[in-house]
Amino acid sequence: MIDAAIFDKDGTLFDFRATWGGWTARAIAFLEGHGADPAALAQVLGYDRATGDFAKSSPVIAGTTPEVAELMHEFVPALDRGYLLDVLSELSETAPQAPAVPLRQVFEDLKARGLKLGLATNDTEAPARAHLAGAGVLELFDFVAGCDSGWGGKPAPGQLLAFAGRVGVEPARTVMVGDSLHDLHAGQAAGMRRVAVLTGIAEAPELAPHADVVLPDISHLAAWIDSQRRS
């Protein structure tokens, strides 16, 4: 039985390349204005400035915003670390979001099934809430956690276990839904079911060994949950 679902944000709810490609380009331009070498910075971030695509090993994909900020700070050591993190968080909050699917319909369908819903992201919490609000779905979530919310970031299970405790659902009756190995490893560490989706950078052969199921996108989740409830 599945009574709750917690979601990753970027690559799961929103198209990763469309959102974070623009964010990375803006961040590189900002640091270039402070003396950073844009080509070298893009290489470290695993970002192709010509195509807007990311290498699978890109720290932007798996890292928290503070971790990415620390990498960037090496290129502008004279810049205050706190100021840089504030700028990057603001760029994240204002980054245009491209929903992977019609989110309102997906989450209304899940709520109609009685599920508790949560979000666990390695982005910071304020941008995460802004992105959900911009998509018109924030009020459908029972829990929202960023890497700065007090439970750490993925692949550690802190955010997921905090969600389960907050909504009063056992981890074993909860599913973690994400597009990366960090998401799936966090779900495993939390003792949750794991659903991988293919709207991020990782591909099915990489994700399948760590997931209960691999779905094209989250619009297929309700049908899968229905099938689990019948079994």
Residue ranges per domain, the chain? 4-15+97-230, 17-93
Neighbouring C-beta atoms of residue 40, cutoff 10 Å: 11
Supply 202's token pair.
């990782």
pLDDT at residue 229 tops 90: no
Rounded Cα gap, residues 125 and 117, in angstroms: 16
Rounded Cα gap, residues 2 and 196, in angstroms: 16
Residues 71/59, Cβ–Cβ less than 8 Å: yes
| Architecture of the domain spanning 4-15+97-230 | 3-Layer(aba) Sandwich (3.40)
Query: In angstroms, what CA-CA distances link 177 with 22, 29, 107, 138?
Result: 24, 33, 13, 17
Rounded Cα gap, residues 59 and 25, in angstroms: 15
Residue pLDDT, tens place only, 188-226: 999 999 999 999 989 999 999 999 999 999 999 999 999
Rounded Cα gap, residues 26 and 216, in angstroms: 30
Rounded Cα gap, residues 61 and 182, in angstroms: 9
Residue 74 pLDDT class (50, 70, 90 cuts) = very high
Residue 70 pLDDT class (50, 70, 90 cuts) = very high
Mean pLDDT of 81-92: 92
pLDDT > 70 fraction of the chain, expressed in percent and rounded? 100
Residues 48/42, Cβ–Cβ less than 8 Å: yes
Residue 19 pLDDT class (50, 70, 90 cuts) = confident
Residue pLDDT, tens place only, 146-198: 999 999 999 999 999 999 999 999 999 999 999 999 999 999 999 999 999 99
Question: Rounded to two decimals, what is the model's pTM?
Answer: 0.86
Measure CA of the first residue to CA of the last residue in the chain; give whole Å.
9
Phi, psi of 214 (to 5 degrees): -115, 125
